[in-house]
Structure 1
């Protein structure tokens, strides 16, 4: 596999800083296209395209991380936790992951998207619809036995201590007998 030779001379700290820069750039590109559609065509049209993009991108991201982490087909909640912790925006957002029995709780404590929109005087991004697709498809790509449900996400906030909260459940498949 070839790589950018300029990376060879960077220290570990510089590589980590560069990864944060790349993550911020990725998020900026995501926000710029969204706000362009939002401004020209309205929130409903922007949300439609956001959902369509995340249906595909989240699976691509999950499968690349699954391969990178050498996760098995059924990686379980531990595999999902590892993959969630390495997502692009995990480098720039503050989140928490907790596993209890067959459930993983994921909380986005601080979200750069909502913080930026607030700073610009914009209404919050109604990300629940997109989040259901994004997190649900990501989890299924890691392990098709995992289901996802929204606990709290704008505009349906039930937990004021975080930007959003998600619940992933590992549903063991029943063995069918004749």
Structure 2
């Protein structure tokens, strides 16, 4: 039986999305939507730290810049199956534009797309902020994340911008 890397990746990706959705739905059934969203937000205050650190290690990226951040985040997005583009305007700013999001696709397929705006506002923004924090230098101004357009809010894409905060 052949188990090529594409097949293995698809199996892991499917399991990753299934376990995320399953625990959320079960918690929602037991404790309500607000509790499930609150706990999901707590999970996504930790998960991006793990992902960012592993991406930096795998890509051997040491610098703490918006450009380095989006290069590492692109690895995570590719692993999850997003369609996206990455750009760096200068050394102080970079952004990711996501045209297809598998998390949104799961919501649509399960008939739960009404949760999209709350997830975008709470989970996606938390995730971006944690990635920014992970790449902020200890001895300089922090990197700040800004969520722009959002597929879950009816836009044609999601835009996540990262920039170095102005020093005052």
* TM-score between the two structures when normalised by the length of structure 2: 0.80
Partners of 2:26 and 2:38 lie apart in 1 by: 13
Partners of 1:172 and 1:98 lie apart in 2 by: 20
Q: Displacement of 1:83 after TM fit? A: 0.7
Which whole-Å deviations, capped at 9, do the CAs of 1:61-104 have from their partners, x for residues lacking one?
111111222211x3312211221111166441212222212221
- The count of corresponding residues between Structure 1 and Structure 2 is 159
2:98 is aligned to 108
Q: 1:91 to 1:57 in 2, by over 3 A?
A: closer
Please give the residue correspondences for 1:82-161 in structure 2 after superposition, counting only pairs within 5 Å: 82-87=71-76, 90-101=79-90, 102-122=92-112, 123-125=114-116, 126-127=118-119, 128-144=121-137, 145-153=142-150, 157=153, 160-161=155-156
Partners of 1:152 and 1:40 lie apart in 2 by: 33
1:43 is aligned to 33
What SS does the aligned partner of 1:49 have? Answer: helix
Structure 1 unaligned runs (5+)? 1-8
Partners of 1:25 and 1:153 lie apart in 2 by: 25
* TM-score between the two structures when normalised by the length of structure 1: 0.76
More helix by share: 2
8 Å CA contact 2:48–2:131 kept in 1: the answer is yes
Which has more radius of gyration? Answer: 1
RMSD value, Cα: 2.4
What SS does the aligned partner of 1:55 have? Answer: coil
